[in-house]
Each structure stands twice: as C-alpha cells, then as structure tokens.
A = this chain, B = another copy of it.
Amino acid sequence: MSQTAIPGYTYGTTSVPHSPITLEEFDLLKQTVLFTDEDSKYLRLSYDVLKDQVDAILDVWYGFVASHPYLVYYFSDKADGQPDGAYLAAVRKRFGQWILDTAAARYDQAWLDYQYEIGLRHHRSEKNRTDGAPSVENISYRYLPPLIYPITATLVPFLARHGHTPEDVEKMHLARIKSVILQVTLWSQPYIKEGDF
C-alpha cells in the first residue's frame, strides 16, 4: 500500500498543519502513559505480524461499527440517515494505513503533525472535507476514549498469529494500548476549550 495510492492520506506532506504541541510536550505525555523505547520495539515487532492482516482487522472493526447504529451514524448521509458507502470505503483505506503507521512507531514531528490533522478530521473543524462526504458535522468526543478498548483488544488474536510467545504478544498489545491512548489524547485537542488542553 503506497502512500500515493490512498486518497486523503497526507502524512508527511506540506498540506498537514503544525501540531499545537511540541515534541518536548509530547515527551511528557509519553512519560505519563509509561511509553518507553521497549514499547517502540514491540510496536515495530508487530508491524510484520500485522501487515498481511490489515484487511481482516478492518473487517472486524467495520463489523463492530456496523452493529452499533449510534457509531455508524457518524458515517451516515445527513440527508437520508443511511450509511454512506463511498465515505466508509475512503476512510477504510486510511484506517488500514493507520494500523501500520502506529506499528512503525516513528513518533517524530511529521507524525505528531499528522495526529493533529486526524483530530481535526474527527472534529467539526474538518470532518467530511477530505472525502467531500455529505455526512454529519462532528464525531461526538464521548466515543473517542471508549474506542481505545475495542480497537486494541480486538488486535490480540491477530498479534498471536505469527507464533510469538504469549509474553511478546502481551507486550505488543500493551505498547499499542499506550500508543492509542496517546493518539486519542492528541486527536482530542480540537475539541478542548481554549487554554484547557
């Protein structure tokens, strides 16, 4: 999956705005969530495990969203309330790439900037704009933290599929939980009142 093959995937390009927090500030968030170099190592170990399973993982996640009408709502056409297939398909490609970008664990300035972009795309600031989707204006903040759990727990059977020890699978799992907590924190920034972030 090359970057140019995914419409709207602008990671590393000049169209991504600058993160409102610095790498030094992000380092304090990493300390808080207990994210260490060992977590980066286990995320990278997970890269090769996950790279051929991305579509199967997305099938699980899209099944979860589809079975919860209050979640699929955020992919609905505002006019008729029906799920927008084109929007779902466009997001899916970037979602797959996100699985791998999280595993690559290159959490540098370009990555930090792109997390800001992802947050803006969840929030009414920029939702729908990337895909020209005729959907609802905002993903309610309230569902962002709760999704940390299913989006990491459902990976465990996939992480276990390459013969790694249960200990290594657990370390890959915990490293991903920490990373997704950090990312949800960054994605929340556009939702937070001025001066409170």
Give chain A's interface residues, CB within 8 Å of chain B: 21, 25, 28-29, 31-34, 68, 70-71, 123-124, 138, 140-150, 153, 174, 177-178, 181-182, 184-185, 188, 191-193, 195-197
Question: Which residue of the partner chain, among B21, B141, B153, contacts A142 with CB atoms under 8 Å?
Answer: B21
> What's the least CB distance linking A112 to chain B, in Å?
13
CA distance A144 to B184 in the complex (A): 11
Chain B residues lying within 8 Å of A142, measured Cβ to Cβ, are: 21, 25, 29, 185, 197
Listed A/B pairs (30) with beta-carbon separation below 8 Å: A25-B142, A28-B68, A29-B142, A29-B143, A32-B71, A32-B143, A32-B146, A32-B147, A33-B147, A33-B149, A33-B150, A34-B149, A34-B153, A123-B196, A124-B196, A138-B195, A138-B196, A140-B196, A141-B188, A141-B192, A141-B196, A144-B185, A145-B188, A146-B185, A148-B181, A149-B177, A191-B191, A191-B193, A191-B197, A192-B193
Return A155 CB to nearest CB of chain B, in Å. 13
Bound: A123/B196 CA distance, A: 8
Q: Are B146 and A181 in contact (CB under 8 A)?
A: yes
Contacts of A148 in B (CB 8 A): 33, 145, 148, 181
CB distance from A135 to the nearest CB of B (A): 16
B192–A150 contact, CB under 8 A? no
Report the minimum CB–CB distance from A157 to chain B (whole Å): 15
**Assembly CA distance A31 to B71 (angstroms):** 11
Q: How many Å lie between the Cα of A193 and that of B138 in the bound state?
A: 12
Among residues of B, the one whose C-beta sits closest to the C-beta of A186 is B142
Whole-angstrom CA separation of A190 from B141 in the bound complex: 12
Contact among B25, B31, B146, B192 for A29, CB-based, below 8 A: B146
